Structure 1
Amino acid sequence: MKKMNKIFLYASMLILTSGIAAVPTVAKADINYGLTSVGTAIVTTKDSAQLYNDSGQPLGRYLPAGSEWKTSLENTLDSGSYYGVGADEFLKSSDVDFESLDGQATYSEGQTSAANYDGIEVTSAAGAPLYDESGNPLGRSLPEGSDWKVDLQDNNAKGTFYRVATNEYVSAVDVRPYQNSPVYSESKVVTTPSGNPTRLYDEHGQLITDRALAANTSWYTDQFTDIGGIGFYRVATNEYVIASEVD
């Protein structure tokens, strides 16, 4: 029998314990910076390209050099930017050339528009060191907790960087990009599918790693929001599920 929950927080989030070790949340040590829609696009592998899961872990499988794959999703981690090409299968942006089919600019490794984001928040307790466009440190840092507008995202061999001023960049390791997402009132019940637990995300689309929703359970939602072009339902205070992953 499905359990119906119509209040937030109380008994709402289940810790993963059955065969899966719970991963503790560490403040200011974010590993997932959010899933972002990139519309309809194609990525072409430069060489034989490793596949990764949504946490940036290698899957031990490769796609052949010069092969083309449809993508609509970008996943930004501390290890760089990735494009989804299958169910929990991602290619690193530095391993591919990207071509939008929605009339946007075509680009390969290097600078791209950061239009998906409204800004970045510095999450590193030590602050965010500034780098030049070649990834060389400038000897200055932005303070923890400060917010900055960005206009460019730079994916290169050293990782993912965001431009905050002329020839001044911060590393994705030290910040969290965010979007001022539209919010719509909602009043309905959503149900998780059978099989694996349904993952939870925060208000920035950032993966919550220490809990999830059990399969075949129902949850009340009061809010729908668009984060990076992806729809989310709120099921608890600052805890969301991807709309397409629930019924």
Structure 2
Amino acid sequence: MNIMKKKIMLVATGLSTSLILVSAIPGNVNQFWNAVGIEKIQADDSDDIETLIPDSALRAAMYRDIYRKYDELTMDNIGEVTNVGLQGKMNLEGLTYAPNITYISMSGPFDNLSILKDMPNLESVRIGNIHISNFDIFENIPLPKDDGSRPDNQTIGEPEIIVTDNKFEIDLDSYVGKEYVVPIGNVSVMIGNIKMDSSYDPDTRKVTLTDITEKLNTDDNTTDQINEDLTVKFDETVRFSNRDSKVTVTITQPFVIYMPVVRVKDVTMYVGDIWNNDMGLVKAQNNLGKTFKANELDVEGDVDTTKIGDTEITYRLKEDHSVFDTAKVKVVKRPTGGGGGNNSKIEDIKPTNIMTDKKLLDVYNVSGKKLEPKTLTKQTTDFVTEKINTIGKVQYYRIGENEWVKTDDVKVFHYNNAVKQTHGDDHKELTQFRNIGQVSNRALKPITNWVTDRYAYFKDEKYHRVATHEWVHDDHVVKYTSISGVVKVNEDVPLYNSQGKASNRGLMNNSEFITDKSAMINDQLMYRVATDEWVSAESVTLK
């Protein structure tokens, strides 16, 4: 049977991991060569190099050793490959088809490391920041001499997880192996930049960290979720290339803790109004981050709006009745007149979202007379107002029957569920609510993604909320949409960063690159092809 076979050409990548070769073109713009130049030719299954060596990045790394002699890597010339540099995440399947490799340098995470023991002529392995800590496999790799190879310190990045029981238990055996390592030492644990009290059992090699929210001084009443990085650092001594080497391993585990919460608000109604349990509910969430409407909760109490009176309505999570909150509902007599007073000018406005970060909110009547402060059950409370009252030079929003708040005491906001990426130049400072000052001990890392649910204007400048009381300036982020595809370049084109600044690199006509994000940059649609490099949609075709 004949199949379609792909030729392997000079390589470089955007988001894909492979060798980067650049060549100068006019305008001082460097160009990436296409990761895989494809030419359709007929080939027999038995020598299909793409089947035998499925990872294109590995094929490209092998071809680099012989590219001056051959136009492509084939099963006929692969035996001439002796020196291979491996970078980035690769699957090493098929490496043994190059039996004469004597030297391998490695930097990055790899699959199938056990294949190295089947390399008959391998003499030297040099590993950089290989992102592993389990060196068991190297015990059985025959390196005939002490060639001075040393493993560098290792960093391991894990995917984000959800923590549901307020604790971590990390089994270091899964990182260092069970046999091929001297006992672990100097174990430390941090969350963010805070050192944590934790326990390490050298017999089981397990690190235990409990009561995370308490150790972070998290206020359950004001925090919906915690997004942090857990960092575990330890030393291990491994035998590599016939010598003992000390390796410091740093494991970074991003995590999120969703706080089980029920938040309510007090409600004032008129006699004859219709009560709905959603009216008193602000937010309900479980420890997996799932949110609930009122009809999905256990609700205790009933409001009788046929007469004046006060009622308490309690909302509880069905799965955990210890998580609850109680709203006070006041039914009052419906006013018979306009009630504006001689000095009041009340106007209807479109429904407007307002919020505050106060625990006690000053409340006024329709004439501007100060009433008893309103105690808010949670530190941050949202309201919807449809009326504004002007008394002299002071304006008020209505939040309930004969309850008005000064416009200066609250902030108008706009719901906007989106994901933002920080720009790549520096850490991004966070601003407290109403621009009262910077957050002193936290900032956003460059080129990281953050979920935002709303934006507001502080002193006429736009900010996005990324935590309960923390906001990032609009100039420091770009809104993006996750996509999955390949862009084919239609002309030689420059690359831009997320701030719209052109770089000194570009993409060559007819090359192809993986893309994972789209965004509006410089008022035009762009696709991301590298960590902070974007190409205009006008110059490519998305496949």
TM range (shorter): 0.3 to 0.5
Which has the greater radius of gyration?
2
Task: Tell me the TM-score normalised to structure 1 length.
Answer: 0.36
Looking at secondary structure, tell me which structure has more helix per residue.
Answer: 2
Flag the structure with more relative contact order, 1 or 2, with Cα contacts below 8 A and sequence separation at least 6.
Answer: 1
Greater strand content: 1
